[in-house]
Structure 1
Amino acid sequence: MTVSTTLPSRPSGPPAASAAPPPTARSAPLPATRDTGIDLVRALCLLAILVLHGLQVSVTLGTSGPILEYATRGASWYPPLTWILQVMPVFFVIGGFAGLVAHRRSLARGGTSTGFVAGRVHRLLLPAVVTIGAVGLVLALLLGAGAPAELIGQVGMRYSEPLWFLGVFLACQALLPAQLALHERAPWALLAALATAAVGVDVLRSATGLDALGYANLAFVWLALQQLGFFLAEGRLDRLPVAVRSAAGVAAVAALVLAVATGAWSADLIAHMNPPTTALLLVGLAQTLLISLLRAPLVALSIRPRLAALTRFVTAHSMTIYLWNLPMLLLAAGVSAQLAMLGAGVLPAPPSLGWWTTRPAWLVVTVLLTAGAGWLLGGIERRRMPNTTGSSQHVLQAVLLALVAVLLILLAGATPVTAAVAVGLGMIALRRIRAGGHREDSSRTPNRHPMFLR
């Protein structure tokens, strides 16, 4: 959404140990300035995702034409890399961090939970509708121009895969007011309940061999990580002794290493997202504690001019960058294949030396293409929701319609037909939001930016 992330009241570091414990109710004082360190973390994490996607997508030439493939599938070099590039837990932590501040500020201005959810979903869904519509149109044009239907199907499935994040994050943000209300009553008990439920799902999945049971952790794992963001925003983690935070972070990593070493979990941390496992809770806990320990250095680093400029750009275009990364990668793959077929280049297969040699240029070009798309189209996600009045039922209907649209694309892949249906559902959802959301008063909130993990 458009509410800024914020710094603790003491930006130079954690409060002294003698400081009074923070209030836990919604009457707790809210910090007044942006947390540029958190903004920098989000920007670096988004860059990590662009690199990860760039390494995954590969195109080669077969006897019948271009072939899209996963360069990372079965690659021995990939699992160790995921220990650096698995940053999805951080996104949900930062989403909880920003959501707590945004919601409490909204209530302080006389806003409602309904208006908060309406604004969050509006700013997630609008750029998604545009992107899905554009991809569906391009796929239809390619089919009409005679492109192989099998190749178009591969492109559509590849494009649809990252949209899981849109659906899960949207659902978590829609549930944030209710989760925050429970957090204010019993913060540690709620976190323990979510973590215990996540462990229980993993145990039951392992005992029965039914992988489908693991999808219950789409709620338990990601909501637990979102709540870690509440703790970070309230300063609870910063108030813990450094030794306690350090020990807890080391213990989380040690538990993860032990589970991998014994064969209980895969060393590929990306594989733990489908469905989510409690490994992500350990990853997210370690990452959150590290952020807490490095708050002051992160702030100092984030105000350097070049990094500050990068962070501002990503902050203002983040949802667009995420949504357009795969289309830009697929465009680059298509152009590369076309040039190779015309004899103007080669497409080395992974993991050959030639493939590794071309990866730096490939990553730079695709990141720049994605940034260009963000710069050109980022204004869409900054559009404010018009003043509206209505009921919470309208917002609930909008959330459900949006989730159905995303689920359709995930299950069936992006095709001209599924894209058109998803766009239609998304537009109806946007109309429901505009009919059901009491827009937050933005007149008192300067420097507003689009909401993506804010």
Structure 2
Amino acid sequence: MAIVEAPTRPALRDRDPLPAGRDTAIDLLRAICVAGVVLLHAIMVGVTVVDGGPVFANASEGTWWIVPISWVLQVMPLFFVIGGFAGYISFRRTHARGGTTTAFIAARVHRLLRPALFAIGIVGAALAALSAVGIPADIIAVAGFRYSQPLWFLAVFLGCQALLPALARAHARRPLITVAALVAASISVDVLRAITGLEGVGFLNLVFVWLALQQIGFFLADGTIDRLSRRTRAIAGAAALTTLIGAFTGGVYSPDLIANINPPTAALLLVGVVHLSAVSLLRDRIGAFSRRALPAAFAAFVNRRTMTIYLWHMPALLTMAGICAVASLSSGIALPEPSSLAWWMSRPLWLATALTLTALIAVALTRIETQSSPRSADSARRMTIAAALGIASVVVLLVAGTTVLTAALAVGGMVSALRLARRSHQTARGESVADLVRVA
């Protein structure tokens, strides 16, 4: 991943005016996406007690109900489209204020890695404590693995945002060719995976699918989508949905949208187009709703703590599962089997508890995410290494699972990345990292 420093005012699409103020509709949609991820993961957590010991599993595995739920709660395509929208505008504003590309990327590095290293450090310490009090190693290993799974987002989003300046310039020069190349690459990976039967090939789309979705968000940011007629946008969305359904019925892709994320497939691009079409057509109504008191408060709460919520919702869920297992073992009352009627009846309370506990943790840790950013390093080389080191630190957890050792390695890598991304002995003045990242 190479980051090349640009002139102060790059040849972006300056003829397209920057939107005035924040886009409250986008803010609300981003907050809904974050809540959707928490709900999706919460409903997938299954815990039972077998032979006197707890068993943690994916409650949705092999079930029919995950298909309709995934169509409602698989919001990652929309999140990356919104990320492209917000990132493109923020990049242009950074340069309009006389900022540099390295300053833009440094803000992303600090915004994403600072709360991450704190969360991963605490989780590593918690795993060490569990081992010290005699919790079986296999249970600790499962907990570490489950915690690691959602962290793919951190690595991928950091990479996408680090590459955003280069892709924004490519969009300014050749918008259709750039997005078409990314889409073609993602489809090619799917074809190669199908031909060879090698599942590992599909993980190349961790790059191409999510970069393509981010790139699609640029068209919303520069006004291209809004300049299309409502009829054209509706036809595009309907065509994408029809193609998606055809791909499912034809066996090209699984109708379970969760299965299409691990590894990512081009089906998610079609989902992103459907989402984008719906958002563009309903944007005025969403905007009007987003300015009401409750939606505005919800959006403000979540957007200020996006990464904290994402990083801590899985520890909250694992804690809840552990408490349920201990309570069952202590009382002798069996936990309901996943997908049973009793299990479904308990889901509303489970989901409400998951949201509440995650929100409380996020409130307690708000300052870690929102504190001011140090001034960025001037060296593009240092920024390239910082972003790559941050990604590599997360990949360690994804490949090996979260253990005391891997957590320590990840934290060390992230600390090094943050040091590389800042100027020595200088602190930022004025705008916080959160403000830079969440411009919409």
TM over 0.5: yes
Matches within 5 A, 1:22-171: 25-26=13-14, 28-171=16-159
Amino acid at match of 1:112: T
Separation in 2, partners of 1:78, 1:326: 19
1:253-402 alignment, distance < 5 Å:
253-343=241-331, 345-402=333-390
1:426 corresponds, among 414, 418, 422, to 414
Taking structure 2 as the reference length, what is the TM-score of the superposition? 0.94
Partner in structure 2 of residue 211 of structure 1: 199
Q: For residues 372 and 417 of structure 1, what CA distance do their matches in structure 2 show? A: 28
Q: Partner letter of residue 120 of structure 2?
A: I
5+ long unaligned stretches in structure 1:
1-22
1:412 alignment partner in structure 2: 400
Answer whether contact 1:225 1:281 (CA < 8 A) is retained. yes
Aligned match of 1:239 in 204, 227, 245? 227
SS class of match (1:381): helix
Aligned counterpart, 2:187: 199
**Post-superposition shift, 1:109?**
1.0
Question: How far 1:96 sits from its partner (Å)?
Answer: 0.6
Deviation at 1:250, TM superposition (A): 0.5
Are the structure 2 counterparts of residues 440 and 116 from structure 1 closer, same or farther at C-alpha, using a change threshold of 3 Å?
farther
Structure 2: any 5+ residue segments left out of the alignment?
Answer: 1-10
Deviations 1:394-446 (A, max 9, x none): 11111111111100000111111110111111111111111499988745x9x
Shift of 1:26: 3.7
Aligned partner of residue 68 in structure 1, secondary structure: strand
The reply to whether residue 187 of structure 1 matches residue 162 of structure 2 is no
Identical aligned residues as a percent: 47
Which residue identity lines up with residue 385 of structure 1 in the other structure?
S
CA deviation vs aligned residue, 1:27-68 (integer Å, no higher than 9, x gap): 532111111011111111111111111111111101141110
- 2: distance between equivalents of 1:450 and 1:69? 39
1:391–1:437 Cα contact (<8 Å) kept: no
How far apart, CA to CA, are the structure 2 residues paired with 1:387 and 1:132?
A: 24
Secondary structure at the aligned position of 1:269 is classed as: coil
**Alignment TM-score, normalising by the size of structure 1:** 0.91
Relative to structure 1, is the Cα distance of residues 74 and 113 closer, same or farther in structure 2, using a 3 angstrom cutoff?
same
Name which of structure 1's ranges 336-345 and 392-401 shifts more when overlaid on structure 2. 336-345
Q: How far does the alpha carbon of each residue in 1:351-374 deviate from its partner, in whole angstroms, 9 at most, with x for none?
A: 111111111100000110001111
- 1:169 is matched by which residue type in structure 2? F
Note if contact 1:56-1:72 (Cα within 8 Å) is conserved in structure 2: yes
Q: Secondary structure at the match of 1:125?
A: helix
Q: Is the contact made by 1:217 and 1:276 (CA closer than 8 Å) also made in structure 2?
A: yes
Residues 114 and 438 in structure 1, CA contact (< 8 A), matched pair in contact too: no
Q: Secondary structure at the match of 2:16?
A: coil
8 A Cα contact 1:392 1:436, kept in partner: no
Count of matched residue pairs: 430
* Segments of 4+ moved more than 3 angstroms: 435-443, 447-454
Distance 1:449 1:111 in 2: 14
Q: Distance in 1 between matches of 2:343 and 2:407?
A: 33
Cα distance in structure 2, aligned partners of 1:140 and 1:453: 39
Which amino acid counterpart does residue 161 of structure 1 have in structure 2? Q
Q: What is the CA-CA distance between 1:304 and the residue it aligns to?
A: 1.0
Could you say what secondary structure the match of 2:56 adopts? strand
> Is the 2:90–2:436 contact (alpha carbons within 8 Å) kept by the matching residues of 1?
no
Q: Structure 1 residues 328 and 450, CA, compared in 2 at 3 Å: closer, same or farther? A: farther
Residue matched to 2:8: none
The 1:427/1:203 distance shift into structure 2, 3 A limit, reads same
- Cα distance in 1 for residues equivalent to 2:420 and 2:239: 46
Task: List per-residue Cα deviations over 1:151-187 (Å, max 9, x = no partner).
Answer: 0000000000000000000000000000001000010
Does residue 228 of structure 1 match 2:216?
Answer: yes
Q: Distance in 2 between matches of 1:106 and 1:71?
A: 44
C-alpha separation in 2, matches of 1:43 and 1:322: 11
Deviates more, 1:138-147 or 1:271-280: 271-280
Give the conservation status (yes or no) of the 8 Å contact 1:395–1:437. Answer: no
Range moving further from structure 2, 344-353 or 309-318: 344-353
| 1:199-258 residue CA offsets vs partner (Å, 9 max, x unmatched) | 111111111112222222122111110011111111110110111100110010000001
Residue identity opposite 1:75 in structure 2? T
Q: Is the 8 A contact 1:92 1:453 kept in 2?
A: no
For residue 420 of structure 2, what is the amino acid of its counterpart? Answer: R
Tell me the distance in 1 between the aligned counterparts of 2:156 and 2:34.
Answer: 17
